[in-house]
Amino acid sequence: MKIRVFVTLKNGVLDPQGKAIHHALEGLGFDGVSDVRAGRLIELDVDENVRDEDVQDMCKKLLANTVIENFEIERN
């Protein structure tokens, strides 16, 4: 089973990378973008018996740094 974990910076945490991307988009002439936040997508291939709680645990212990990041888990 595939699981996708989306790791994003918390609100209020400065995202210099997002700012640089935003700046580059403006440089390319793309108007109308008011903000850019960059994150990370991690895809996991897991056995059926891996529970939601296990994935939560993986996120808290390694995949995300919860001091600065939020995570969302998507199963399909």
Q: Interface residues with other proteins (CB under 8 A)?
A: 13-14, 16-17, 19-20, 61-63, 65, 67-68
Rounded least distance, CB 9 to other proteins, Å: 9
Rounded least distance, CB 48 to other proteins, Å: 26
Using CA atoms, how far residue 30 sits from 22, 25, 38, in Å, is: 9, 6, 17
**1/13 with CB nearer other proteins:** 13
Spatial separation of the C-alpha atoms in residues 12 and 59, rounded to whole Å: 21
**13/32 with CB nearer other proteins:** 13
The answer to whether 3 and 73 are in contact (CB under 8 A) is yes
